[in-house]
Amino acid sequence: MKKLDKNKLILGIAAPVLAIVAALLITSVIILATGKDPLHAYAVMADFGSKSDSQVWIINKAVPYYLSALAVAIGFRMNLFNIGVDGQYRIAAFFAAVVGGALTLPGFLQIPLIILVAMLVGSVWAGIAGVLKTTRGVSEVITTIMLNAIAAAVIGYFLQDGRLAVKDGNLFHTPNLPASSHFFTIPTQPAPLDGFLVIAVVVGFAYWFVLNRTRFGFDLRTVGQSESAAEAGGVSVKRMIVTSMLLSGGAAGLIGMPTLLGTSYNYGTDFPIGIGFTGIAIALLGRNHPVGMAVAALLWGFLERTGTQLEFEDYQQEIVGVMQGVIVLCVVVAYELVRRYGLRLQQRQVGEELAAQARKTEKAEVSA
């Protein structure tokens, strides 16, 4: 057993190391092809990325990414591909902003209310895809993509002067949240950390706990590993699909909250979009693991932070995008390779051990 555990550990580390080395090599070749020095680029990134303000920036940037990755990962663990996280968080943030902007309650009521509305709207939006899949058999990939477009259209309709938004210069946005709804920040130098970091850590822990320590989580993982075995084991796969879509959508509802409650205080035409898609990449990169995704989200933030700096050193702006893509590809490939190797290794070890046992009993029989 000891041996197997040690192998497991080595294999667990092997995959990310392999991926990062491969990604660095490929990126270096690409940078060389543009006629620049890759080592200098890495030095610039490491230097700039480790500055204190960069650290704060990276962490704040990583918080919504992490929440997005969690939302995606809930689906992934079920073998559901929730591409709609993007639409879910946007429509969730929009209606949360509308509700928040219309009310003036004390912060301890108003903030939870806004977050609750966001989670609820996100759930409903994702739940539509779940219900369509279970009742009509429509692939969630299709429905969630469509729902993204519908979400954008719904927001676009309401985000007009005289509907649910006000005009502010060239921007439309929902009425500003009252000051009581501003989320707390963690005072650090030179800039404060987003208080939503705490929520992200809590949600990450809850994700781990529910999946690994509860009956519900076991059922969910069972469906993800083998739908037929889950069905035979008594899991109602259909109900599980709807439930996990609701959960995924609820988590997606949180993605826009750091922005809404921490920086913009309204949902405007400039509200960030596309975080749902970034979440897919980060969930892949972090292998759906709560800690892995945290590391991946930080890495993503680091690359975005330092990418701008590369532009000043006359590297192409697109280099960072290429790096991000290459890393995700390398990770997916490396994990698959290591997983297969690990499975073969284990089978061989089991075979060896059994053969050794058999030889022992055979000898015993002979000597008896």
Window 14-43: contact mask with other proteins (x via CB under 8 A) = ------------------------------
Residues facing residue 165 across a β-bridge: 161
Q: Which of residues 51-90 bind other proteins (CB under 8 A)?
A: 51-57, 59-61
Using the contact rule CB under 8 A, the part of the chain among 28-36, 139-147, 241-249, 342-350 near other proteins is 342-350
**C-alpha torsion sign, points 170, 172, 175, 177:** negative
Give the tokens for residue 296.
């991946």
Instruction: Compute the Cα dihedral for 148, 150, 153, 155 and give only its sign.
Output: negative
Written as six digits, the tokens of 321 are 């995008």
Applying CB under 8 A, the span of 35-43, 77-85, 139-147, 206-214 interacting with other proteins comes to 206-214
Give yes or no for residue 125 binding other proteins (CB under 8 A): no
Applying CB under 8 A, does 213 fall inside the site for other proteins? yes
Helical packing angle, 52-76 and 275-285, nearest 10°: 80
Assigned token pair, 56: 């704060």
Angle at 82 between CA 81 and CA 88, to 5 degrees: 175
Q: How far is the CB of 312 from other proteins (least distance, A)?
A: 6
Q: What is the DSSP letter of 181?
A: G
By CB under 8 A, the residues from 149 to 168 that bind other proteins are 152-153, 155-157, 159-161, 167
48 binds other proteins (CB under 8 A): yes
Spell out, one character per residue from 294 to 333, where the chain touches other proteins: x when CB under 8 A holds, - when not.
Answer: ----------xx--xx-xx----x---x------------
Which one among 37, 353, 360, 363 touches other proteins, defined by CB under 8 A? Answer: 353
Taking CB under 8 A as the binding criterion, the range among 44-52, 67-75, 103-111, 325-333 that sits at the site for other proteins is 44-52
Give the number of other CB atoms < 10 A from CB of residue 251: 30
- Quick one: tokens of 285? 């990169």
